Amino acid sequence: MVDIRTVALEETLALKQRVLRPHQTIDELRRECAGLADLECFAAVEDGRVIGTATVHREAAPWAPDDTRAWRLRSMATEEGRRGEGIGAAALAAAVDHVRSQGGGLFWCNARTPAVSFYERAGFRTRGEPWVDAAIGPHIAMFLVVP
Work out the pLDDT band at 146, boundaries 50, 70, 90.
very high
Q: Are strands 71-78 and 105-112 parallel, antiparallel or unpaired?
A: parallel
Task: State the pLDDT at residue 10.
Answer: 95
Give the rounded distance of the alpha carbon of 112 from its chain centre: 11
Predicted TM-score of the model (pTM)? 0.94
Task: State the pLDDT at residue 140.
Answer: 98
Instruction: State residue 123 phi and psi, 5-degree precision.
Output: 100, 0
Sheet harboring 125-133: ordered strands across? 2-7, 40-46, 49-58, 71-78, 105-112, 137-146, 125-133
If one counts every other C-beta atom within 10 angstroms of the C-beta of residue 102, the result is 15
If one counts every other C-beta atom within 10 angstroms of the C-beta of residue 25, the result is 11
Contact of 118 with 109, CB cutoff 8 Å: no
Work out the pLDDT band at 1, boundaries 50, 70, 90.
confident
CA diameter of the chain = 42
Judge whether residue 22 has pLDDT over 90.
Answer: no
Mean per-residue pLDDT of the chain: 95
